[in-house]
């Protein structure tokens, strides 16, 4: 469960947030103050569901104090005084006049379940936004000793939030999010990535027999279009069983139009002629970088969906699951790349074919027949 918002004594009506849910919260709290017995009709929310500390404190007080006798409550404000005293233990800035304001702004007390549903939906949006932010932060945290494990754990936590929202809100028609994809962030410095991808391509060119061991690496995992195209050339030549060297790869690249961007053939040959290290190592490095980039992009997409109040909770679920599917796909390839190698069963020896007779009698008969044939 999300933590209760931080307390702020000035967190009241005078500085109301611009979000519509603030007014919905006021309507619900007013309904419960006016008719405390309607608390039994309110489900799906808790103190942490409210957007301000003052509202969270009031809801906690209302939901924990015994409800008053309806007849007595209609005659005096004794129960309201108890609510105010209990809520002030968490938020000192609350006043009796604010409680009266809440009662006055509530349109209809019997609409309390609808108000609660709106608050639950907005809380779901905030939870999803926060989980997406944590995923994005993890992808950029250079201090993590095991970045992939941390990022995947955050992705799992985000998926759990999505599943919880899906269980609370049934599907409806028109589920696709209307929010456009966010613009690309400032391009990071890919200097290290470019250098490692060049070593990957050169090592694969020098050792084409090893390409089959990194089948989990796809062209889209490489950062530069030229590098992605060259990797596709290498895998294609290796799959066909054709000769692989810098010249044959360059020719394949020309056939695919990869040199139309102005790449110099001499530079491409030089790039492919300087191998170093292990192909598996450079492949894992490239895949790790691609996984982090995929998680970062998915996080930004989900963050944009959650930041758009026009999206319903189920639209958020659909959009988030689509983005999380991209992480799941590359996660599977990462597990294939880094998991234990499967134990290969020894192949059974080929069946023995029937050969010519080897007994002495058969050999003598064969010699006799050969002698007769020469007569």
Give the SS3 label for residue 77.
coil
Among candidate residues 235, 237, 336, 223, the one with its CA nearest the CA of residue 284: 336
What number is the average pLDDT over the span 228-241? 95
Q: How many whole angstroms separate alpha carbon 263 and alpha carbon 258?
A: 8
Calpha distance 172→315 (Å, rounded): 9
Residue 101 banded pLDDT, cuts 50, 70, 90: very high
In the numeric block, the tokens 């800035």 are attached to 93
Determine what percent of the chain falls in helix, strand and coil, rounding each to the nearest 5.
65, 0, 35
Instruction: Tell me the pTM.
Output: 0.80
Task: State pLDDT tens for residues 296-333.
Answer: 999 999 999 999 999 999 999 999 999 999 999 999 99
| CA 112 – CA 333 distance, rounded (Å) | 49
| Architecture, CATH, for domain 121-177+191-339 | Orthogonal Bundle (1.10)
Which residues fall within 8 angstroms of residue 161, CB to CB, at 6 or more apart? 127, 128, 131
267 vs 194: CA distance, rounded Å: 14
For CATH 1.10.860.10, list the domain ranges present in the chain.
121-177+191-339
State the CB neighbour count (10 A cutoff) for residue 141. 11
pLDDT digit string, tens, across residues 179-204: 887 776 555 667 889 999 999 999 99
Between CA 211 and CA 190 the distance in angstroms is 24
Q: Give me the mean pLDDT over the 284-292 stretch.
A: 96
Please give the C-alpha separations between residue 92 and each of 12, 41, 57, 62, 199, in angstroms, as whole numbers: 11, 29, 10, 16, 63
The conformation of residue 310, written as its DSSP 8-state character, comes to T
Model confidence at 19, in pLDDT bands (50, 70, 90)?
Answer: confident
Q: What is the pLDDT of residues 134-145, one digit of tens each?
A: 999 999 999 999
CB 313 within 8 A of CB 247: no
Alpha helix segments (H runs only) across 143-278: 147-168, 191-206, 225-240, 246-255, 265-272
Q: Which residues contact 63 (CB under 8 A, 6 or more apart)?
A: 39, 47
Class for the domain spanning 13-107? mainly alpha
């Amino acid at each position: 469960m999300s933590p209760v918002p931080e307390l702020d004594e000035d967190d009241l009506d005078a500085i109301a947030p611009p979000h519509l849910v603030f007014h919905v919260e006021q309507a619900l709290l007013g309904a419960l103050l006016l008719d405390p017995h309607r608390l039994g009709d309110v489900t799906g929310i808790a103190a942490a569901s409210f957007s301000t500390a003052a509202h969270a404190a009031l809801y906690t007080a209302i939901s924990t104090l015994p409800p008053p006798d309806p007849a007595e409550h209609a005659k005096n404000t004794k129960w309201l005084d108890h609510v105010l005293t209990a809520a002030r233990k968490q938020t000192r800035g609350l006043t009796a006049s604010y409680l009266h304001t809440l009662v006055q702004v509530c349109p209809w007390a019997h609409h309390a379940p609808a108000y609660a549903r709106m608050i639950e939906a907005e809380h779901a949006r905030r939870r999803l936004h926060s989980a997406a932010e944590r995923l994005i932060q993890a992808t950029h945290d250079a201090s993590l000793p095991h970045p992939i494990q941390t990022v995947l754990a955050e992705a799992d936590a985000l998926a759990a939030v999505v599943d919880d929202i899906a269980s609370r809100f049934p599907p409806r028609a028109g589920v696709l999010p209307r929010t456009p994809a966010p613009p690309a962030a400032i391009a990071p410095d890919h200097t290290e990535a470019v250098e490692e991808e060049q070593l990957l391509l050169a090592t694969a060119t020098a050792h084409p027999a090893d390409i089959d061991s990194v089948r989990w690496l796809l062209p889209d995992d490489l950062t530069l279009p030229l590098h992605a195209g060259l990797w596709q050339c290498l895998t294609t030549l290796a799959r066909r069983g054709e000769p692989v060297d810098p010249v044959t790869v360059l020719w394949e690249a020309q056939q695919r139009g990869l040199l139309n961007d102005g790449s110099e053939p001499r530079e491409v040959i030089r790039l492919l002629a300087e191998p170093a290290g292990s192909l598996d190592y450079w492949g894992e490095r490239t895949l790790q970088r691609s996984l982090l980039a995929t998680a970062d992009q998915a996080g930004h997409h989900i963050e944009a969906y959650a930041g758009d109040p026009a999206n319903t909770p189920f639209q958020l679920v659909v959009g988030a699951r689509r983005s999380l599917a991209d992480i799941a796909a590359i996660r599977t390839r990462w597990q294939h790349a880094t998991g234990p190698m499967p134990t290969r069963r020894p192949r059974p020896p080929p069946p023995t074919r029937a050969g010519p007779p080897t007994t002495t009698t058969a050999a003598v008969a064969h010699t006799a027949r050969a002698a007769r044939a020469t007569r």
